[in-house]
Amino acid sequence: MSTSYPEEPEDDIYRVYLPEWVTVFTTLTREAVNAHFDAQYAGRVQRKHVRVVDDYRRFHLQLWLPTLKGEFSGRGRAMACKADLDKHPTVATWKNRVSVVRRNSLADHALRNYGIKMLPADHPDGGDPDGG
């Protein structure tokens, strides 16, 4: 039995995203990590979505980014994937972190652009860090 969503046809393609810590840079010094963050990600991600991991040999810059977990024909299949992900013990504690969006929708573009495009200027962590 399929649930119908009149504003979103059932035969559309849907994507399932789950945010995860992704290592985007690894180096030998914390200063190099900070410089890389300032050059590449400042103003593009919220501060709460940034961490530096020190494994006593190297420093790893990690960002909390939405990662694509699947693309499905039909909202029902995408929601089933979300339900499966929601059952995972770690994901279950995050509450509503799994996102199901229609491919190429505004929400899809927002998830894909996080960390790439600048945050809005009125966001506390947003705008061009050089003021331009």
Domain extent, residue 21, equals 13-113
45 torsion bin: left (phi>0), alpha (psi -120 to 50), beta (else) = beta
Query: How many domains does the chain fold into?
Result: 1
Residue 85 in domain = yes
User: Which pLDDT does position 85 carry in this prediction?
Assistant: 87
Quick one: 66 exposed, middle or buried, by C-beta within 10 A (0-12, 13-18, 19+)?
Answer: buried
In a domain, 57, yes or no: yes
Q: The pTM is what?
A: 0.79
Q: What is the 3-state secondary structure (H, E, C) of 22-34?
A: EEEEEECCHHHHH
Q: Is residue 62 part of a domain?
A: yes
pLDDT in tens, 9-65: 556 999 999 988 999 999 999 999 999 999 999 999 998 899 999 999 999 999 999
pLDDT in tens, 82-124: 999 888 777 666 666 889 999 999 999 999 999 999 888 777 7
Give a yes or no: residue 8 inside a domain.
no
- Predicted pLDDT of residue 9: 58
